[in-house]
């Protein structure tokens, strides 16, 4: 078969490992020809492709980013976008399209299959770990490890200066990275988008802790965290050209308020895209490899409209519709019964 592959949305450690695995099994076990579309749907529209072979993917397992490049944007954004996708697949003789992406890309893949009958297989990707239908997405444990390493380092400098460090991690709609890194790094408090925070309660908690003789605290905040309505004025939201809120900066607002209300010296660390760069953890390399193998197997089962998922320790197939329009929020049992006992 001729199989097209694209990576869409934000990049994520493990993308190259998925591509490599699909190419290795596709070429060696099935005799497939694999073709990469460059820059996501832009490359499909403009027919910018690159051959993907076992040889060309050599050395790519530990490499961050994506060899195919990635973009946001959708063929549904323009009136003739879907026709262009169909025409490209037809003209290049593509029998199947593997879409490796987050919520946005998987929704596009789902519509292309359900409304236009295209032979599509999805592979869920995001460091945010917020895709419904899979227990984990690859890239997540890498981001958690990077955030945890940062928190470990911040403890010593915070203690030396008796400071409150407010660490902003990624997490647009959910606090998976914040919760896991907060537990792993021994944070004082973790603020996540799922639970609006109360700045007064946070300041009181920090004051109680400092009254007990602890003069350094680490507050981990997910970039999408929001205050309880009416409790803290936030800056006006800015949107990018795809209608996504441009996040980043909530930690600064929180840190300034903590400093004003408690008098504690406070500093901000915004980890940003460091969490998405560089080599994947061993766990993410294994998960990505398993997803890549399962995705090319799914192509040969003609399981169109499905995505590969992790359930327990098994890789399974799930309908793309399960992921569309939903967000997998933080496990409240983990947050309420495990994490919050250690945040003090």
Give the list of residues 6+ apart from residue 273 with CB closer than 8 angstroms, or none. Answer: none
Q: Which residue has the tokens 């309908």?
A: 319
Closest separation between CB of residue 172 and ligand F6P, Å? 4
- Which CB sits closer to ligand F6P, 60 or 178? 178
Which residues carry out catalysis?
Answer: 128
Is residue 247 part of the contact set for ligand F6P (CB under 6 A)?
Answer: yes
Is residue 127 part of the contact set for ligand F6P (CB under 6 A)?
Answer: yes
Give the list of residues 6+ apart from residue 136 with CB closer than 8 angstroms, or none. Answer: 129, 287, 310
Q: Are 294 and 308 in contact (CB under 8 A)?
A: yes
Closest separation between CB of residue 129 and ligand F6P, Å? 10
Q: Look up residue 22 and give its two tokens.
A: 């699909």
Is residue 126 part of the contact set for ligand F6P (CB under 6 A)?
Answer: yes
Restricted to residues 89-118, the positions that interact with ligand F6P (CB under 6 A) are 102
What length does the chain have?
A: 344
Is residue 128 part of the contact set for ligand F6P (CB under 6 A)?
Answer: yes
Fill in the per-residue mask, 155 to 194: x = in contact with ligand F6P (CB under 6 A), - = not in contact: ---------------xxx----------------------
Closest separation between CB of residue 276 and ligand F6P, Å? 5
- Which CB sits closer to ligand F6P, 26 or 104? 104
Closest separation between CB of residue 324 and ligand F6P, Å? 16
Is residue 292 part of the contact set for ligand F6P (CB under 6 A)?
Answer: no
Restricted to residues 188-227, the positions that interact with ligand F6P (CB under 6 A) are 223
Decide: helix, strand or coil at residue 288. helix
Q: Are 342 and 157 in contact (CB under 8 A)?
A: no
Closest separation between CB of residue 72 and ligand F6P, Å? 7
Give the bridge partners for 22, in sequence order: none
Strand order in the sheet with 217-222: 189-191, 217-222, 164-169, 266-270
Listed residue (301, 13, 26, 74) closest to 5, CA to CA: 26
Residues at the contact surface with ligand F6P, assessed by CB under 6 A: 10, 102, 126-128, 170-172, 223, 247, 276
């Amino acid at each position: 078969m001729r199989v097209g592959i694209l990576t869409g949305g934000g990049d994520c450690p493990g993308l190259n490992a998925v591509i490599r695995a699909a190419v290795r099994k596709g070429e060696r076990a099935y005799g497939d020809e694999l073709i990469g579309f460059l820059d996501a749907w832009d490359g499909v529209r403009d027919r910018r492709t690159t051959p993907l072979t076992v040889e060309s993917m050599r050395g790519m397992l530990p490499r961050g980013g994506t060899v195919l490049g990635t973009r946001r944007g959708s063929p549904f954004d323009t009136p003739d976008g879907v026709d262009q996708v169909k025409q490209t697949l037809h003209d290049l003789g593509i029998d199947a399209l593997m879409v490796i992406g987050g919520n946005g890309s998987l929704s596009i893949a789902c519509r292309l299959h359900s409304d236009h009958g295209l032979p599509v297989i999805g592979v869920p990707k995001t460091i945010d770990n917020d895709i419904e239908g899979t227990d984990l997405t690859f890239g997540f444990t890498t981001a958690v490890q990077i955030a945890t390493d940062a928190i470990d380092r911040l403890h010593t400098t915070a203690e030396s200066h008796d400071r409150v460090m407010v660490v902003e991690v990624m997490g647009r709609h959910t606090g998976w990275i914040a919760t896991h890194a907060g537990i792993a790094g021994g944070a004082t408090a973790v603020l996540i988008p799922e639970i609006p925070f109360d700045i007064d309660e946070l300041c009181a908690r920090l004051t109680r802790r400092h009254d007990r003789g602890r003069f350094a605290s680490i507050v981990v905040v997910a970039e999408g965290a929001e205050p309880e309505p009416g409790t803290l004025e936030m800056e006006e939201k800015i949107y990018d050209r795809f209608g996504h809120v441009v996040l980043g900066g909530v930690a600064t607002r929180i840190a300034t308020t903590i400093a004003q209300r408690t008098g504690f010296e406070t500093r901000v660390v915004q980890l940003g895209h460091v969490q998405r760069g560089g080599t994947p953890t061993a766990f993410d390399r294994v998960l990505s490899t398993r997803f890549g193998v399962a995705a090319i197997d799914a192509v040969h089962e003609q399981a169109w409209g499905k995505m590969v998922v992790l359930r327990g320790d098994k890789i399974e197939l799930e309908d793309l519709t399960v992921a569309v329009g939903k967000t997998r929020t933080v496990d409240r049992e983990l947050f309420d019964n495990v994490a919050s006992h250690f945040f003090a």
